[in-house]
């Protein structure tokens, strides 16, 4: 972003201290560069960041701040523009949290290896239900950083080919089977997985990019692809939060589409709502609501329900799902359990399987070091806020956060003055959604 007014002298008269003013001046230079168009995978190293949150709950001095904040809110009030205290922040951006939902890329890649449409949608449901637990860090609910407009996040995973194996034993000679077409595509020859720096030609590379494409409303776009397996997923999400008394509810408005190019299939899916409960004591996260997965070509669909805990009794984190063939109404798979615990899948052939999400192997993402990142990449952008939070210096973290917020407001005013519309770097507006500018389905 060029010609920004980050360092405008009027900021000195807004109650900002000298340290924050210097931060804004530095931001003026930082705004001159953004992420490069092409990223070198050889720059990526295994992400060693451990953002597990300490399960301390809300301290007494923090509780008084929250009570004061709650006294000013009304039930159902939109919290999008409400400034929340820094101590509830999670030390990572929302864009990076979306990437962490991909922590089981081996299961993701196994979807397209399914021999029949039935098996592929079942594999997608199995992957979908096991994806959410890794997106959460720690038992205490904390809030990821709100991405600023233009913020982006890049990472990748390297998945050993022998890790991508069938989840069920099925013959691929049936009438609805479709052969895979990956043999004529060169395999990845980049770094290995789980910290290995050795080049490994036996790995698939899964690439992820996310960008904050809108500020009001706050909309994120994220895209993930594996060229070798000829599959990708494109998602846009508007996070709409509201006050619910002793809880905060976040609706994930939008949808995603999984593209399996070898089968010419598209799976349209939605996302559940999230709730931060018990915000005055030990906040915890709950998912709730009904989501759908639908493939128009194959005629298969899935209905997934994330059950919120009843006021009295009942289990937490419960989820149920049904996969059916729409034309016949036959239910081909049922699932039940906890999205962050044990999940049981029962298939129409009488087989069943139990997955313990807490014991699933996690493949660490690869990410470029902060010093090699563009100025608007998440970890680089928020590095000073993160460092201050880790050091327990909430005042300093608030200053750095305020700096970024003021910078964003200043840039918005500059665009309004010059009547310059905002143009995202990686995503294009199509209808009501946002689509990655170079998707795999347009390249093949």
pLDDT band of residue 74 (cuts 50, 70, 90) is confident
pLDDT band of residue 28 (cuts 50, 70, 90) is very low
Closest CA to 208 of 40, 125, 95, 112: 95
pLDDT one-digit tens code per residue, 225-252: 999 999 999 999 998 888 877 788 888 9
Is the pLDDT at 32 greater than 70, yes or no? no
Residue 431, classified by CB atoms within 10 Å of its CB into exposed (0-12), middle (13-18) or buried (19+), is exposed
pLDDT band of residue 38 (cuts 50, 70, 90) is low
Residue 197, classified by CB atoms within 10 Å of its CB into exposed (0-12), middle (13-18) or buried (19+), is exposed
pLDDT one-digit tens code per residue, 421-435: 999 999 999 998 999
Of 33-37, 178-182, 269-273, 312-316, highest mean pLDDT? 269-273
Is the pLDDT at 290 greater than 80, yes or no? yes
pLDDT one-digit tens code per residue, 293-323: 999 999 999 999 999 988 777 888 999 999 9
What's residue 247's pLDDT?
81
**Does domain 9-443 fall into CATH 3.40.50.970?**
no
- Using the Cα atoms of residue 326, residue 329, residue 330 and residue 333 in order, give the sign of their dihedral: positive
Q: Are 53 and 97 in contact (CB under 8 A)?
A: no
Give the global pTM.
0.83
Which tokens hold the place of 415? 């665009």
d(CA 430, CA 424): 13
- Can you give the residue ranges of every domain in the chain? 9-443
What's residue 282's pLDDT?
76
Is the pLDDT at 10 greater than 50, yes or no? no
């Amino acid at each position: 972003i060029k010609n920004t007014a980050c360092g405008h002298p009027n900021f000195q008269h807004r109650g900002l201290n000298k340290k924050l003013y210097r931060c804004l001046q530095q931001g003026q230079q930082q705004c001159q560069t953004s992420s490069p168009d092409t990223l070198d995978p050889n720059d990526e190293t295994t992400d060693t960041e451990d953002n597990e949150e300490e399960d301390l709950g809300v301290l007494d001095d923090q509780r008084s701040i929250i009570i004061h904040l709650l006294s000013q809110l009304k039930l159902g009030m939109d919290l999008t523009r409400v400034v929340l205290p820094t101590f509830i922040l999670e030390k990572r951006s929302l864009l990076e949290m979306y990437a962490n939902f991909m922590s089981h890329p081996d299961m993701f890649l196994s979807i397209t290896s399914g021999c029949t449409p039935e098996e592929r949608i079942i594999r997608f449901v199995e992957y979908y239900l096991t994806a959410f637990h890794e997106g959460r860090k720690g038992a205490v609910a904390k809030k990821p950083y709100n991405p600023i407009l233009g913020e982006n996040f890049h990472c990748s995973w390297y998945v050993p080919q022998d890790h991508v194996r069938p989840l069920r034993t099925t013959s691929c000679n049936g009438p609805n089977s479709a052969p895979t077409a990956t043999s004529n595509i060169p395999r990845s020859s980049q770094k290995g997985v789980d910290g290995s720096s050795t080049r490994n030609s036996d790995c698939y590379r899964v690439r992820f990019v996310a960008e904050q494409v809108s500020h009001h409303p706050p909309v994120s776009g994220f895209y993930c692809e594996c060229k070798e397996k000829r599959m990708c997923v494109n998602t846009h999400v508007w996070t709409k939060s509201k006050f619910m008394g002793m809880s905060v509810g976040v609706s994930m408005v939008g949808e995603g589409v999984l593209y399996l190019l070898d089968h010419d299939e598209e799976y349209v899916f939605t996302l559940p709502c999230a709730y931060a409960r018990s915000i005055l004591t030990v906040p915890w996260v709950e998912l709730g609501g009904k989501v759908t997965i639908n493939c128009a070509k194959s005629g298969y669909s899935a209905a997934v329900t994330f059950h919120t805990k009843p006021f009295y009794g009942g289990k937490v984190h419960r989820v149920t799902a049904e996969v059916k063939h729409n034309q016949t109404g036959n239910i081909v798979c049922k699932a039940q359990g906890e999205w962050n615990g044990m999940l049981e899948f029962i298939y129409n052939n009488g087989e069943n399987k139990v997955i313990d999400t807490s014991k699933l192997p996690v493949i660490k993402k690869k990410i470029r070091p902060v010093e090699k990142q563009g100025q608007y990449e998440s970890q680089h952008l928020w590095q000073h806020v993160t460092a201050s939070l880790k050091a327990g210096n909430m005042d300093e973290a608030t200053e750095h956060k305020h700096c970024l917020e003021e910078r964003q407001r200043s840039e918005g005013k500059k665009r309004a003055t010059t009547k310059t519309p905002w143009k995202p770097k990686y995503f294009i507006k199509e209808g009501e959604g946002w689509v990655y500018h170079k998707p795999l389905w347009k390249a093949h």
